């Protein structure tokens, strides 16, 4: 996986973690070490220092974007003589590979954004719930491509985001269980007109072929006001994925309800072979074919080093 390198022709400005940390200014740190431990994913070494150095400045940046969006809304409302409907939610998309740390980033930002002095209402939804149920994937021969773009109900995602952007009350999203590795029948979460929505998933920056007749074809990212891509070298992500798989053998996989319970009973060597095969044939393939190509579409790219900590921040120029 190539690393984005600074260039005078690049649409991004690049900052080391230390340089980025200076943009925290005097913003207070509103999370505790215990909260960070609770919010981070299995195997993610995120600590309070990295939150202060990386995520608090991101929170400040996003606050500026939200404020600017609200100002533009008021100006356009005046331009349209007050006929503009209520301000729509500010939507932040977060993309990146399996095991790269999207969920940790999404949860940390949700907490930081919700603790601004203005106390905005922040919601977090992942695309997992919009996967087709396993029964459908099996019928269509797609279980081996779970997580690839074709395994998602894109129409349902677009309806959900359209309703959110329209300011509809009590918009429902399906729920996914990582324990049983499937969508939970009949279970929903309700999103009720948030000020900010964080929408996290593998392929949220994905585009599709355009129709030749010029008809409108919305992409998921068309609904985003800001987007973040979590980046790392493929070898590192593969290692994090395998390490996580092996840790789950000692924890979640031991639950007899787990879809992966059978992997808790095999030898370590067998488990390592299975994890490597899952990466090589599914997750690594999805990364190279579908996820990594969307990286240049992000507004903010967080590049992680081998130790799972963010080493570089790339911010799209205005």
Express as a percent the part of the chain with pLDDT over 70: 97
Every domain of the chain and the residues it spans = 12-205+216-316
Strands laid side by side in the 90-96 sheet: 12-16, 310-316, 300-304, 226-231, 90-96, 196-200, 122-126
Q: What's the pLDDT tens digit per position in 242-277?
A: 999 999 999 999 999 999 999 999 999 999 999 999
Q: What's the pLDDT tens digit per position in 30-70?
A: 999 999 999 999 889 999 999 999 999 999 999 999 999 99
CA dist 29 → 21, 32, 46, 115, 195 (Å): 13, 8, 15, 10, 21
pLDDT at 263: 94
Per-residue pLDDT band for 1 (boundaries 50, 70, 90) equals: very low
**β 310-316/12-16 pair status:** antiparallel
Q: Which fold has domain 12-205+216-316?
A: Rossmann fold (3.40.50)
In a 3-state reduction of DSSP, which class is residue 155?
A: helix
């Amino acid at each position: 996986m190539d690393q984005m390198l600074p260039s005078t022709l690049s649409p991004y400005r690049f900052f080391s973690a230390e340089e980025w940390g200076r943009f925290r200014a005097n913003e207070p740190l509103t999370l505790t070490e215990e909260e960070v431990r609770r919010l981070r994913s299995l195997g993610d070494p995120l600590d309070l220092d990295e939150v202060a150095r990386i995520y608090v400045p991101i929170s400040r940046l996003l606050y500026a974007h939200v404020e600017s969006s609200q100002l533009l809304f008021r100006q356009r409302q005046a331009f349209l003589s007050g006929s503009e409907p209520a301000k729509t939610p500010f939507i932040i998309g977060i993309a990146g590979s399996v095991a790269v740390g999207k969920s940790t980033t999404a949860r940390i930002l949700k907490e930081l954004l919700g603790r601004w002095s203005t106390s905005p209402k922040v919601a977090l939804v992942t695309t997992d719930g919009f996967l087709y149920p396993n029964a459908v994937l099996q019928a269509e021969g797609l279980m081996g491509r779970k997580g690839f773009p074709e395994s998602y109900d894109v129409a349902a995602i677009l309806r959900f985001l359209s309703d959110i952007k329209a300011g509809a009350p009590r918009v429902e999203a399906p729920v996914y269980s990582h324990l049983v590795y499937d969508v939970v029948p009949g279970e929903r979460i309700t999103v009720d007109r948030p000020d900010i929505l964080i929408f996290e998933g593998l392929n949220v920056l994905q585009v599709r072929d355009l129709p030749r007749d010029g008809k409108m074809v919305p992409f998921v990212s068309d609904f985003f006001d800001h987007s973040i891509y979590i980046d790392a070298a493929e070898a590192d992500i593969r290692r994090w994925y395998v390490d996580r798989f092996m840790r789950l053998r000692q924890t979640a996989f031991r639950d007899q309800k787990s879809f992966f319970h059978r992997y808790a009973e095999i030898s370590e060597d067998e488990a390592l072979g299975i994890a490597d095969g899952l990466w090589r044939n599914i997750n690594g393939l999805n990364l190279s074919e579908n996820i990594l190509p969307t990286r240049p579409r992000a507004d903010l790219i967080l590049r992680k080093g081998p130790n799972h900590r963010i080493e570089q921040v790339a911010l799209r120029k205005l």
